[in-house]
Amino acid sequence: MPVDFHEVLFPLDVALRGSGGPVRLTEIVTLASGREHRNSRWADSRRRYDAGFGVRSLDALHAVLAFFEERRGRLHGFRYRDRVDWRSGPPSRAPTPTDQPLGLGDGARTAFPLAKTYGGGASAYRRAIAKPVAGSVRVAVAGREIAAFACDPATGLLTLAAAPAPGAAVTAGFAFDVPVRFDTDDLTVNLEAFTAGEIPRIPLVEIVP
């Protein structure tokens, strides 16, 4: 992550009711015959959110305004908790050390970046996880949980105390946040509309390393 990233979490009570998810960019060309040629412009998806749906009181709105000002609008990134996708396994289950494959030992390698795989087979998508929740990471080597490791919560890099034997599977479970920034420098609030039930728009976009 760039140096203009603040390791702070967006107000969790607001994030709980936010909306959003992954976005991809696909070009589709329709030929005269009706057939299509499709091409993905992005190798990775990018998440977008609208946190405005989570603002249910003036106090919550005030907290978001303070957070926005401290981040200087779009200038500084921060952590966002996507409650649909914030664990290495299902959101209803605590992480286990065998949730996600990270790689195989070769007798020398000790560093393994955290990742989460979606789907299976040849079309599975592997997503880099750069913002694990501190203290949530559990690790196993060849199916046995280990405690001798360190994981940087700012980068998601897992470092084992000893290199796994050649062919030994390294797996991990963890909770994680999404690195995002505000996608606007103009946070406009109409209090009359707000009291009538209209929620202000608070767009967020994932920061891609």
Go through 10-34 and write b for each residue having 16 or more CB atoms within 10 A of its CB, e for each that does not.
bbeebbeebebeeeeeeeeeeeeee
pLDDT at 43 > cutoff 70: yes
- Residues 10 and 200: their CA atoms lie apart, in Å, by 16
The label of the residue with tokens 């992480």 reads 95
- CA contacts within 13 A on the Cβ side of 146: 20
pLDDT of the residue at 3: 66
pLDDT at 67 > cutoff 90: yes
Strand order in the sheet with 203-206: 5-9, 77-80, 178-182, 203-206, 46-50, 19-23
pLDDT at 207 > cutoff 70: yes
pLDDT of the residue at 54: 82
Token reading at 164 = 């796994």
Nearest to 178 by CA among 135, 155, 207, 137: 207
Round the average pLDDT of the chain to a whole number and report it. Answer: 93
Q: Decide: helix, strand or coil at residue 191.
A: helix
- Residues 61 and 180: their CA atoms lie apart, in Å, by 19
Q: What is the pLDDT of residues 91-115, one digit of tens each?
A: 999 999 999 999 999 999 999 999 9
Give mean pLDDT, residues 191-195. 68
Q: What is the pLDDT of residues 105-152, one digit of tens each?
A: 999 999 999 999 999 889 999 999 999 999 999 999 999 999 999 999
Q: What is the pLDDT of residues 2-14, one digit of tens each?
A: 569 999 999 998 8
Go through 150-179 and write b for each residue having 16 or more CB atoms within 10 A of its CB, e for each that does not.
ebebebbebebeeebeeebebbbbbbbbbb
pLDDT at 195 > cutoff 90: no
pLDDT of the residue at 199: 65
Q: Are 209 and 130 in contact (CB under 8 A)?
A: yes
